[in-house]
Amino acid sequence: MSPWLRDRTFFFALFALFAVNVLSQVPTLDVVELSVAEAQRRMTMGTLTSRALTQAYLDRIAALDDSGPQLNAVIDINPAAFKEAEARDAERKARKARGPLHGIPVLIKDNIDVAGMINSAGSLAFADNRPASDAFVIRRLRDAGVVVLGRTNLSEWANFRSTRSTSGWSSRGGQTKNPHVLDRNPCGSSSGSAVAVAASLAAVAIGTETNGSIICPASVNGVVGLKPTVGLVSRTGIIPIAPSQDTAGPIGRTVADVAALLVAMAGVDPRDPASSAAVKPPAVYTAALAAGALKGARIGVLLRSPMQPDVDAAMQTALASMRRAGAIVVDVQMPTFGKWDQQEVLLYEFKASINRYLAGSSSAQKSLEALIAWNKANADRVMPLFGQEMFELAQAKGPLTDAAYVKARETATRLAGAEGLLAILARDNLTAIVAPSGGGAYSAAAIAGTPSITIPIGESRGLPFGITFMGPAFSEPKLIGLAFALEQLTNARHPPRFLPTFP
């Protein structure tokens, strides 16, 4: 998608005009693979400012996202980004730095309210939605001192418009590309967030997940993604799919960066029923970053059956590393896996929750019915590749009091949770369960509402893949520790090479 079609400021358009191919560009400030901690260290020492860091990321976005490989990961730039960065620098100069994220630019998925900026879920039908206030999680991030750098592209309506949607494509943002191999699937729906982090367009980004939308794109783009326990991070001000499963979560290049971002994101929101009903003592997730966390841990291995030779080999290497670090690794089975009827739950919940969000939005589209009608009237622009079958199926559903919904939700939650993931954890006295990130095992944690985290463990012909750790509700500190320990042992992540196709 051309940068001239995006809602960007004039100064950013000038960046794109003068950007050159990234492979030949020598940036003023090298932000490639720059971690949150290192950026913070430099700012604390006075050798770097948030203003300069913001400028460097904007330069890199111009060179890679709008020019060069044209990743299409960033859909909008925050016109107030420099103003926010300068304010953070002034606070630091006055010895009022707010913490580890002070002055760090962060990219936000385009389904989370940021005051004054378009929040469209990637859809031209919703491009007139400019929220007047920040989502709760954005307020948390601002309180921690972050700079909102911009918004990331996504699979339109978080991959919930059609039964055959294209991952990483939206009618407003175009097709996001995998930075490792440009003509390969970036996965969705948080594709833009994962791609941006992988390509060092920012150190960290925010994604959202209902079922795999953080774990899958993080895995195939070779970064770390954490899907929190439902309720740990507020959903107020986030365009919904299904409240029983929806959550926002952090994406970064390292477990340490993800943990630092989660500290700022987590918090009790009285307006979110899942949040207020799940009050837990605040956790400093960075304290869980222990290289010895695997020692004595009991790890269950799910979906060990052969998938693909490179994936199988990397899994075996990762499991061997865990054993050498003192973990007890055992095979486990989940007889209920895949037997839940998740779609029925999502259709009912989407209709109810999207109608609530739309009714309170600034858009002219105030209902799912209105969205469907707009899409039909503008099909050539908004539906050139696929239709809106999921929208239409959802619109045909009744209220959440329908017996069909109540039964489907009870069955899905029981089969994925009480008789699935949670049953295995309890039966075998496990610390966590692991599985290849691309095998769909993350669905169990998604439906059960429990946390999961993926880290890179290898690649196949230039494409990365990861391993996912899953645990019981609010086990984020334990999962972060295990993932960090394995990350230090394997050191499997590498920067993208922007290959045009498979070698």
Strand 328-331 versus strand 298-301 pairing type: parallel
Question: 393 lies in a domain?
Answer: no
Question: 244 lies in a domain?
Answer: yes
The kind and range of the H/E element at 425 are: helix 422-427
Residue of 165, 189, 219, 475 with catalytic role: 189
The sign of the dihedral angle between the CA atoms of 340, 346, 349, 353 is positive
The kind and range of the H/E element at 227 are: strand 224-227
The kind and range of the H/E element at 377 are: helix 368-377
Residues of the chain scoring pLDDT < 50:
1-27
CB-based contact 207:193 (threshold 8 Å): yes
Question: 475 lies in a domain?
Answer: no
In this structure, what token pair is assigned to residue 366? 């105030």
**What CA–CA distance (Å, rounded) separates 467 from 315?**
7
Mean pLDDT of all residues in the chain? 93
In this structure, what token pair is assigned to residue 402? 């329908």
Instruction: Please report, for residues 11, 55, 232, 360, the alpha-carbon distance to residue 8 in angstroms, rounded to integers and kept in the order given.
Output: 8, 15, 33, 25
Reply yes or no on whether 200 is catalytic: no
What is residue 16's predicted lDDT score, i.e. its pLDDT? 39
DSSP 355-372: HHHHHTSSSS--SHHHHH
Strand 204-209 versus strand 247-252 pairing type: antiparallel
Looking up tokens 């833009």 gives 192
Reported as a single tens digit per residue, the pLDDT across 212-224 is 999 999 999 999 9
Question: 373 lies in a domain?
Answer: no
Looking up tokens 């002034």 gives 90
In this structure, what token pair is assigned to residue 179? 């930075």
Q: Where residue 187 sits, what CATH number does that domain have? A: 3.90.1300.10
Question: 464 lies in a domain?
Answer: no
**What CA–CA distance (Å, rounded) separates 224 from 454?**
6
**What CA–CA distance (Å, rounded) separates 363 from 160?**
19
What is residue 281's predicted lDDT score, i.e. its pLDDT? 64
**What CA–CA distance (Å, rounded) separates 123 from 156?**
6
Residue of 50, 213, 275, 475 with catalytic role: 213
Show the domain range for 231. Answer: 7-288
**What CA–CA distance (Å, rounded) separates 131 from 363?**
9
Question: 302 lies in a domain?
Answer: no
Question: 60 lies in a domain?
Answer: yes
Reply yes or no on whether 363 is catalytic: no
Question: 252 lies in a domain?
Answer: yes
What is residue 13's predicted lDDT score, i.e. its pLDDT? 41
Helix, strand and coil content of the chain, in percent to the nearest 5, comes to 40, 15, 45
The kind and range of the H/E element at 91 are: helix 81-93
Residue of 67, 109, 193, 452 with catalytic role: 109
DSSP 320-365: HHHHHTT-EEEE---TTTT-S-HHHHHHHHHHHHHHHHHHTSSSS-
- Number of domain units in the chain: 1
